[in-house]
Amino acid sequence: MTIDQEIRRYPFAEKPGIDIDPAYAELRATEPLARVKLPYGEVSWLATRYEDVKTVLTDPRFSRAAAQGKDQPRTREEMTYEGIIGLDPPDHTRLRKLAGKALTARRVNEMREGAQRIAGEYVDAMLAAGSPGDLVEQFALPYPITVICELLGVPFEDRAQFRIWTEGLTNTTADPMVFAEQLFGYMGKLVAQRRAEPTDDLLGALVKARDEGDRLTEQELLSIAGVGLLLTGVETVSTHIPNFVYALLTRPELLAQLRADRTLVPAAVEELLRMIPLNPGAMFPRYAVEDVELSGVTVRAGEPVLVSLPGANRDPEIFDNPESFDFRREQNPHVAFGHGPHHCLGAQLARMELQVALYTVLDRFPELRLADGDAGVAWKSGLLVRGPNKLMVAW
């Protein structure tokens, strides 16, 4: 194969819903490294096989820092704000280490009780309002916003603004820098407050790591707290809750499994993450810094490569019956949160929130069903993430 391969338009023609385009399976089998052209930016390679995806995400011959200043392949005219995602080791490693000290597994575990309380409060309000209800507006959106704001120590009265910022940062028709600047300005004020009056919330811990160790710049701190954690802790969770519930309500046998055995919930979250992509397209290309061979194709130095996480997550070389949901899957090394140095910083937080959400929905809505079938489901458009923006349910 050479650079003269057919150039395909990308992203592929995705349909509303939680399925992925069959083109990924076709490419994985016949052309695992394909040439694609996104709406903006230069032509890129697209990797769809699991092992190739892992190589691009971990091999130092592929660089995120080298992408800076390039006409990166992308879905919107403006460049996406990248922050820590645009760095390579050792700079990236330093930031990950400091952020990891603040967002520890212990802190996430300690948040579980609070997340359960918050989820319960929003379900209480849904039940009080009566059936039917919109699971997105009444639960999936406010729940993770409240959780992440409590984690960061954001005043309750300011939380509505976070919804505007998260949607603006993922909108394909808006300039993300406008919303990033607004968010940074707000977070900067909170940082100043933490310096004057230290706190034990996550933002306070990040400020302490910077001020006492003099290792995080102001921009780095705001990038980690304001964009990295906000998008992970809010947009991922608020999008996947209705995705997961829709998958269960349209596959009664899966819902019955979880109702019969709650111990399957953690494994179910992992399988739902594997099968349902947050974004069916690919973002954040890596640029080869030297010639590299992938699946018999030579990627030349200076060429960008996009990785398809959904394609990798259904690779039959890695997963048995990859196109089927299996909540009893023993090995599930999915890459829904990425892999390697750029593995999602807030993955454990998102996992915890999603588990709590599923436990809560199963426990509090024993007769949950779609209120109006597919007529009561509206899907997002014009965003980098994919999921329902309305999910009418009855109980």
Note down the domain range covering 279.
7-394
200-246 tens-digit pLDDT: 888 888 887 755 554 667 777 777 776 667 766 788 899 999 999 99
pLDDT at residue 75 in the model: 85
Q: Has residue 263 been placed in a domain?
A: yes
Q: Is residue 238 a contact partner of residue 109, using CB atoms and an 8 Å limit?
A: no
* 44-47 and 304-307 beta bridge pairing: parallel
* 33-37 and 44-47 beta bridge pairing: antiparallel
Residue 1 clears pLDDT 50, i.e. is over it: no
Distance CA 151, CA 99 (A): 14
Length of the chain: 395
pLDDT at residue 81 in the model: 62
Mean per-residue pLDDT, 238-257:
97
Count of domains forming the chain: 1
Mean per-residue pLDDT, 120-124:
98
Q: Has residue 105 been placed in a domain?
A: yes
Distance CA 368, CA 347 (A): 28
Q: Is residue 14 a contact partner of residue 279, using CB atoms and an 8 Å limit?
A: no
Q: How confident is the model at residue 60 (pLDDT cuts 50, 70, 90)?
A: very high
Structure tokens at 250: 């349209």
pLDDT at residue 227 in the model: 67
Q: How confident is the model at residue 311 (pLDDT cuts 50, 70, 90)?
A: very high
Q: What CATH number has the domain bearing residue 198? A: 1.10.630.10
Q: Has residue 238 been placed in a domain?
A: yes
Mean per-residue pLDDT, 22-26:
95
Structure tokens at 44: 């890129």
Distance CA 360, CA 244 (A): 13
Residue 94 clears pLDDT 90, i.e. is over it: no
Select the more confidently predicted residue: 185 or 215: 185
Residue 66 clears pLDDT 70, i.e. is over it: yes
Select the more confidently predicted residue: 277 or 14: 277
Distance CA 116, CA 41 (A): 43
359-391 tens-digit pLDDT: 999 999 999 999 999 999 999 876 678 899 999
Residue 101 clears pLDDT 80, i.e. is over it: no
pTM of structure: 0.91
Mean per-residue pLDDT, 86-108:
78
Residue 99 clears pLDDT 80, i.e. is over it: no
**Burial, 174: exposed, middle or buried (Cβ in 10 Å; 0-12, 13-18, 19+)?**
middle
Q: Has residue 2 been placed in a domain?
A: no
Q: Has residue 281 been placed in a domain?
A: yes
Question: What backbone phi and psi angles, to 5 degrees, belong to 48?
Answer: -120, -15
Q: Has residue 1 been placed in a domain?
A: no
